[in-house]
Structure 1
Amino acid sequence: MEILEWIQHWFKENADGEWEKGDAIQITTLDDPLGWDVEIDISNTSIANLDIKWILNENGKQDWYGVKIQNKRFRAAGDAKKLTFLLGLFREMIEKIENE
């Protein structure tokens, strides 16, 4: 299943009448450096209690991404070509925990 289809399915599966009324999934842009910022409320998921400090992987100004989980929120940011990759990181974490 392609990542957008998966996110849509995951969103629908987690909707409980309250969670989706807030900022359940936010995708915004960054201007300095140019890129994407993804923030997802994971308070009702199996990874809600994880705490991962910011991890930055940088190969240059136009090839970077970072990820963290804190306060029951998944947060990832990356360069302008990394949106699909960032959503994929979230999917990977969810699927890994669910399959353990």
Structure 2
Amino acid sequence: MNLLNWLEEWFARNCDGDWEHSQGIRISNLDNPGWSIYINLEGTSLEEAVFEPLKIERSEVDWVHCNIQKMIFRGFGGSRNLQELLDIFKQWTESLESK
């Protein structure tokens, strides 16, 4: 399953008539340029999960930073790192679901 299909499935599994109205997923661009993703974990099986902050600095345009603050998975990265950010979320999620 490709990454976008996986994210659609994860989103659909968490839609309960309420979560998607007040929580959900936000993908946006940064002006430096880059990407940001915010995935609200409140009301999901991940709301209490621990994520060790991640910071990868390969170059000024190739970087990713991920953490959780207030039950929101937050990912930031360079202009060509969107897929990597989503993959980090996917791998973390799948590692917890397999336990």
**Residue 21 (structure 2) aligns with:** 21
**Residue 91 (structure 1) aligns with:** 90
Give the residue type in structure 2 aligned to 1:7: L
Taking the aligned partners of 2:51 and 2:69, their CA distance within structure 1 comes to 6
Report how far residue 44 of structure 1 moved. Answer: 2.3
Q: TM-score, normalised by structure 1?
A: 0.90
Taking the aligned partners of 1:2 and 1:90, their CA distance within structure 2 comes to 14
Q: TM-score, normalised by structure 2?
A: 0.91
Report how far residue 35 of structure 1 moved. Answer: 0.5
- Whether contact under 8 Å (2:34, 2:79) holds in the other structure is yes
Q: How many residues align?
A: 99
Q: Deviations over 1:1-57 (max 9, x none)?
A: 00110111111111011000024100000012x100000011123321235464321
Q: CA RMSD in A?
A: 1.4
Give the residue type in structure 1 aligned to 2:85: L
Long gaps (5+) in structure 2: none
Distance 1:12 1:38, change over 3 A: same
